[in-house]
Amino acid sequence: MEAFVQYLFSGLTNGAIYAVIAIGFSMLYSATELINFAHGEFVMLGALGLVTLWGGLHLPLPAAFALTVAGAALVGFLFERTAIRTVKKPHPIVLVIITVGASIFLRGGAMMIWGKDAHSVPPFSGHPPIDVAGAKLLPQSIWILVIAVVLAVGLFYFYRRTLTGKAMQATAINKWGAWLSGIPSERMVLLAFVMSTGLGATAGVIIAPITMCSYDMGTMLGLKGFCAAMLGGIGSLWGALAGGFTLGIVEALAVGYVSSAAKDAVAFILLLLILYIKPSGLFGTADASRF
Amino acid sequence: MKERTAIHSHGVRTVLVLAVIMIFTGSALAEEVYKIGGIFSVTGRASFLGDPEKKSMEMMIESINAAGGIDGRQLEAVIYDTEGDPTKAVMAISKLINKDNVLAIVGPSTTPTTLAVMPFAEKAGTPLISCAAGNKITMPVNPWIFKTAQSDILAVRAIFEHMKTRGIQKIGILTVANAFGESGREQLEAQAGDFGITIVQADKFGGNDTDMTAQLTKIKGAGPDAVICWGTNPGPAVVSKNAQQLELGIPIYQSHGVASPKFIELAGESAEGTLLPTGKILVYGLLPDADPQKAVLTAYAENYTKAFNQPVSGFGGYAYDAVNILAKALKGTGGDKGKLRDNIEAIKDHVGVSGVFTFTPDEHNGLAADAFVMVQIQNGTWELVK
């Protein structure tokens, strides 16, 4: 029982991270039908940004958090403006390959700035682990869970209640139609990029204290987030959230009860299964109504 | 084209004439040199190995030459960079053997590059002293291949010997899923029985995993007396943090793969009390004066720090030892590669940076378990454990 609860905590923590990354994937996809394979690198930028601003320059945590996310979003903005917008014939496959190139570029840049060594930062709050039924729950895990849920709920309200959110949704459903009704759809796409990369960086910031941050940490996290987004049905907010938590918990249980060597395999087997059985994902409908 | 060929053949003729003159006057010319090749990953991912190795080799050759060389002949180092790439390593060894006509080769820096060049050294009959740690380099023994880096076998033995003194019988192991971790796991499993130790739980983690609590919970459930983690940064630091969070309450052993100040920096206070084997260079200042290596280690560390103004690492020591062994074996060979090889194999009790070397026809690493010392992390620094 104690072990099971511990696996569950481990799964929830990892799951929340996957969920935040998956939401970033999903919201960009729903606005642009583009899978951004550089998304994992924004997670890395978030983590390493926190290492520099909080760990290195000792800014107050909220300021370092906000600056890091803003900085990564700015990189996302430049990425959209310089690499995506300028493409003459924006065929999906061309754009996807551009994102792969961007991920290599960002990884190389980060290696030059932060070096090849890993870095670490302390937890947000220095409380000791909390004992629940013999298992240990880290305060940082609570931070991660709370932030993930707050982000998801916040996004939900953004899409439902604000004019910008609705305009973005309209652009996602029909770009041309939205443009005809006076919505600046190009600007909406740009906003989607900025928000998506900002979300990626947020995931990086909140996991920085529980792991080691290095220039090559983003690739695997990005792939896991992508799996989670596909699992839940890409384009769906709640799907991304559910996909993330499912993936995290299944992984942790697989490590605990099957074999730790199977950890990464589990994510990709789940992905293949879902693509065979229900290609639209757990929460996706055939014609995704998206967010 | 014709003209060029003519010039070319003219050049060849000049060289031939010079060569003939050299043959007749060679013994009289004191400036004839012994060429030693070096193949290191000076740049690229493994530059932390190759860079200090290249510097150590150059430093040692300079000091041998300053002292009058070997049998009155100067040494010359010809060093190529592999960038950690086996293909480039093969190109480098071909150049060293065919163009530079070196007597012996030091390096390469990594196990994959060494395995790639070994057949070429053997075919050309050129002794090669590798600076890589992999067991496969000297097992099975290849007559022309030696190595100076301590292997996993010795690190595992050092850990198990220490466990025996503490009465530890049941252990859990957690290894990284790459070549380093696999090799460590094989050795841990192979040698545990010899020390009366049982592995109650064996688990793995990915090099970039963010959380190892699930694996550690599983290990905790199996009730071991201690945990051995085998990996290179950053994974082991995550393991160390997670173990502290889970209040594992049993000793944690790490491998020599994290024997650098970086590990203490990453793992922070969770590293306190961690035990690990390391080459003596990391703690040379703490060694008792009776230690046979103390003088060599101190001299190397001081010379290196003075020459390059950067902290000394165990990696440069591999090349330092290789050059010293070659220098010893070169004496009286007159530049004969076969004699050189025989002399290397006959070296006994050579005190080096990585340990005390005694080569035999069946043992081309030449080190014993005392090449490693066990250290414990206390107050953010290393302390020798008895």
Angle at A69 between CA A66 and CA A70, to 5 degrees: 80
- Across chain B, what does the average pLDDT equal? 88
- Which amino acid is present at B218? K
- A149 domain residue, yes or no: yes
What pLDDT is attached to residue B2?
Answer: 45
* A74-125 pLDDT per residue, tens: 999 999 999 888 888 878 888 889 999 999 999 999 989 998 788 888 888 8
CATH architecture of B153-284+372-384: 3-Layer(aba) Sandwich (3.40)
What pLDDT is attached to residue A288?
Answer: 45
Strand B128-130 and strand B104-106: the pairing is parallel
- A290 domain residue, yes or no: no
Residue to mutate among B47, B204, B210, B229, with most A CBs inside 10 A, is: B210
Q: What radius of gyration do chain A's Cα atoms show?
A: 19
- A282 domain residue, yes or no: no
**In which band, very low, low, confident or very high, does the pLDDT at B29 lie, cut at 50, 70 and 90?**
very low
CA distance linking residue B50 with residue B4, whole number of Å: 40
% helix, strand, coil for chain A, step of 5:
75, 5, 25
What pLDDT is attached to residue A195?
Answer: 93
- Which amino acid is present at A146? V
Residue to mutate among A4, A10, A259, with most B CBs inside 10 A, is: A10
**In which band, very low, low, confident or very high, does the pLDDT at B378 lie, cut at 50, 70 and 90?**
very high
Picking from B23, B73, B158, B5, the residue whose alpha carbon sits closest to that of residue B330 is: B73
Cβ distance A263 to B262 less than 8 Å, yes or no, reads no
What pLDDT is attached to residue B8?
Answer: 55
Q: Given a cut of 80, is residue B23 above it in pLDDT?
A: no
Mean pLDDT value across residues A171-175: 83
* A13-27 pLDDT per residue, tens: 999 999 999 999 988
Mean pLDDT value across residues A181-194: 90
Q: Given a cut of 60, is residue B226 above it in pLDDT?
A: yes
Cβ distance A256 to B218 less than 8 Å, yes or no, reads yes
Q: Given a cut of 50, is residue B30 above it in pLDDT?
A: no
Q: Given a cut of 60, is residue B31 above it in pLDDT?
A: no
Strand B33-40 and strand B74-81: the pairing is parallel
- A284 domain residue, yes or no: no
- A289 domain residue, yes or no: no
Instruction: Tell me which residue has tokens 């290609």.
Output: A279
What pLDDT is attached to residue B47?
Answer: 82
Whole-Å CA distances, A69 to A57, A102, A114, A208, B120: 16, 18, 17, 13, 53
CATH number, position A80? 1.10.3470
Domain containing residue A233: 2-126+134-277
**In which band, very low, low, confident or very high, does the pLDDT at A216 lie, cut at 50, 70 and 90?**
confident
ipTM value for the complex: 0.78
What pLDDT is attached to residue A286?
Answer: 46
CA distance linking residue B324 with residue B303, whole number of Å: 15
Cβ distance A212 to B247 less than 8 Å, yes or no, reads no
Q: Given a cut of 90, is residue B266 above it in pLDDT?
A: no
* B173-209 pLDDT per residue, tens: 999 988 788 889 999 999 999 999 999 999 999 877 8
The answer to whether B262 faces chain A, any CB pair under 8 Å, is yes
What pLDDT is attached to residue A284?
Answer: 64
Question: Tokens representing B375?
Answer: 């250290």
- Across chain A, what does the average pLDDT equal? 88
Mean pLDDT value across residues B264-284: 90
Q: CATH number of the domain at B10-151+297-369, please?
A: 3.40.50.2300
The DSSP line for B303-352 is HHHHHHSS---HHHHHHHHHHHHHHHHHTTTTT-HHHHHHHHHT--SEE-
- A32 domain residue, yes or no: yes
Q: Given a cut of 80, is residue B21 above it in pLDDT?
A: no
Is residue A100 within 8 A of residue A218, CB to CB? The reply is: no
- For chain B, the domains span 10-151+297-369, 153-284+372-384
* Tally of structural domains, chain A: 1
**For A232, left (φ over 0), alpha (ψ -120 to 50), or beta?**
alpha
Q: Given a cut of 90, is residue B142 above it in pLDDT?
A: yes
CA distance linking residue A172 with residue A199, whole number of Å: 18
What pLDDT is attached to residue B321?
Answer: 95
CA distance linking residue A224 with residue B350, whole number of Å: 52
Q: Which residues of A touch B220 (CB under 8 A)?
A: 3
The DSSP line for B198-244 is EEEEEEEE-TT-S--HHHHHHHHHT--SEEEEE--TTHHHHHHHHHH
The residue in chain B having the minimum alpha-carbon distance to the alpha carbon of residue A253 is B214
CA distance linking residue A263 with residue A248, whole number of Å: 10
Residue to mutate among A7, A41, A212, with most B CBs inside 10 A, is: A212
- A283 domain residue, yes or no: no
What pLDDT is attached to residue B97?
Answer: 95
Strand B128-130 and strand B145-147: the pairing is parallel
* A43-82 pLDDT per residue, tens: 999 999 999 999 889 999 999 999 999 999 999 999 999 9
* B303-316 pLDDT per residue, tens: 999 999 888 888 89
Residue in B217, B220, B237 closest to A212 by CB: B237
The answer to whether A14 faces chain B, any CB pair under 8 Å, is yes
